[in-house]
Amino acid sequence: MMLVSISASSEMMITMEVLIYPVLSVMFTLLLYTLFGRRDESIRNVNHNLNINIDKCASEHCVRCKKYKSVRKNASNRYKSDIALRTAVTNSGDRMTHAISTLQEDMTYQTDDRQQPNILYVPGLQATPLWSEDDFVSDITILESETGDIVDEFENAYNNLWPNGWLVNATPSGEWAVFHLISQGSFVKANCEKCPKTCKVLNKLISAMSTSLNLFANASFSVVQSGTHISAHYGPTNVRIRCHLGLKVPDSELSYMTVDGERCSWKMGKCLLFDDSFLHEVHHEDENGEARGVLLIDMWHPEMTEAEKDLVINLFKLKKPKPPSVPPIPLPITTEL
């Protein structure tokens, strides 16, 4: 009987081991994941107060959220219903006439498969992935000479205001956040009031789209954390050239952007100009975990005529009517930062 009892007890212990060990293994795995699996997120929570939820874009008119067909349809309907606009397009020449005719098609017309804007393509404009500062001498001179003041307001927005006023864009990995001063033609008054010197600089730029009240116009602080990959994508149109002014640029060979296969990097206080209607993507890795920050500004393509700019503004303007004169970017009531 004793032998039977011992045998039964042994079998029970073996059975318990068989049942308990997998449970303990699962619990241990979950513990490791909790402690280490979200390490990067925990680091960001400490460094950037991300325990507070950051707003996601919820605009029904957002070009970035892939509402391309809706934007194209709205512009096409505006063109059809406005006799003066149709007359202006006809008088502007062949390339705008052709550009408007493609708005209802699934894909825009282009002569070069490398350039694939997803809303508006104007044929005949110089197609260059990376642009020289020589093409925007006046504006680049202003931006680079005012870098100090812009950096001060950027650092205040990043270090002291976070996450208030910041929006997070979707990325395959890491984190990409923006602090809009101008977002698709709309002034973000609360943010502009925090950055009066930067807004004053923007108002000086003759090529900036930021005061034209159309959906392609943006100006914002843009930050990517270490470990971020912004996947390859095309911008909405070839009528603009995008400018990045380096504000926080770690010395890392693993921080770069590719535009149409050409690799480029940011420099502190220097402007990087590119046509985002070409395929482009961003990688940012830094061994010290430092973020990369730039001032992003959309400029008019230098070959766009004033008449063509007016057509784009009126086709892709905001719902509110265009004011008789271009308003300045709103400045704060007080001068306190």
Model pLDDT for residues 299-310, shown as the tens digit of each residue: 999 999 999 999
At 71 the pLDDT is 87
Q: Which residue has the higher pLDDT, 7 or 267?
A: 267
Residue 225 pLDDT more than 70? yes
Distance between CA atoms of residues 306 and 336, nearest Å = 37
Is the model's pLDDT at 334 over the cut of 70? no
Q: What is the pTM of this model?
A: 0.77
Q: What is the pLDDT of residue 104?
A: 67
First to last CA, the chain: 87
Q: Report, as an integer, the average pLDDT of 94-118.
A: 77
Return mean pLDDT, the chain.
Answer: 79
Short-list 187, 186, 168, 185, CA closest to 177: 168
CB 223 within 8 A of CB 318: no
- Residue 10 pLDDT more than 90? no
Residue 251 CB-density burial (10 A; 0-12 exposed, 13-18 middle, 19+ buried): exposed
What would the mean pLDDT of 29-39 be, rounded to a whole number?
36
pLDDT at res. 126: 96
Q: Calculate mean pLDDT across residues 82-89.
A: 90
Residue 22: pLDDT over 60: no
Cβ-contact 300, 311 below 8 angstroms:
no
Q: What's residue 35's pLDDT?
A: 34
Does residue 41 surpass a pLDDT of 50?
no
> For residue 212, what pLDDT is reported?
65
Identify the pLDDT of residue 27. 52
pLDDT at site 218:
95
Predicted local distance difference test score (pLDDT) of residue 234: 93
In the predicted model, what is the mean pLDDT of residues 211-225? Answer: 89
CA distances from 164 to 138, 151, 160 (A): 33, 18, 9
